[in-house]
Amino acid sequence: MAKKFLLEIQPEPALYTFLGISCHLKDYRLSYLINQKLGYLLIKKEDLVTRSYNLKNVAGFSFYQYNDEDNYCFCFLLSNRSEEFILVPEMKQVDFMMIIEGEIRNSRKEQILKHIRSIPNVLTSFEIQVPAIKNHASLLSDLEMHVSFINRIEKLMYLPKVVVGVI
């Protein structure tokens, strides 16, 4: 009888940096001030809709996106709170998370944190260690699917319109 070997192949994950932000600002105000301080262009996108831990409730979380072409990375500003749910319950003190996809130098990360801390009404900002988030794999999966969906919709919006005429 032939032996069966199962190989568990997992793709190498992209590099992610999680920054926690605690503040008393609305999402649009925080994104505006981050844009001012860091020279970013965080743009409001469709809310990230995900299920809670008990898989019964669905909630939407505010979502902003910026493509940092100078540093070859993508920045996402994500609310940790919806009307009635918390996205990452282990981080109840965090109001927003800035997720940076791509490699980032420690000096650049410290510079970003310093600028965020200098924003009025921001209580603190700090790096979140990925293992501290229990559901980080599903959060990153939801994030990637959401960004893929947004990019697909935006690409469809800018397709040239075909004009069909009568000859």
Which of residues 117 and 57 earns the better pLDDT score? 117
Q: Looking at the predicted structure, is the pLDDT value of residue 56 above 90?
A: no
Q: Looking at the predicted structure, is the pLDDT value of residue 157 above 90?
A: no
| Rounded Cα–Cα distance for residues 90 and 68 (Å) | 29
For residues 102-122, average pLDDT: 92
Which of residues 45 and 134 earns the better pLDDT score? 45
The pLDDT confidence band at residue 13, using thresholds 50, 70 and 90, is: low
Cα separation values, 49 from 11, 39, 46, Å: 25, 28, 9
pLDDT for the residue 166: 55
Q: Looking at the predicted structure, is the pLDDT value of residue 33 above 60?
A: yes
For residues 41-59, average pLDDT: 80
The sign of the CA dihedral 34, 39, 40, 44 is positive
Collapsing DSSP states into helix, strand and coil, what is residue 17?
Answer: strand
Q: What percent of the chain has pLDDT over 70?
A: 84
Which of residues 160 and 137 earns the better pLDDT score? 137
B/e letters for 101-129, b = 16+ CB within 10 Å, e = fewer, are beebeeeeeeebbebbeebeebeebeebe
DSSP code at position 50: E
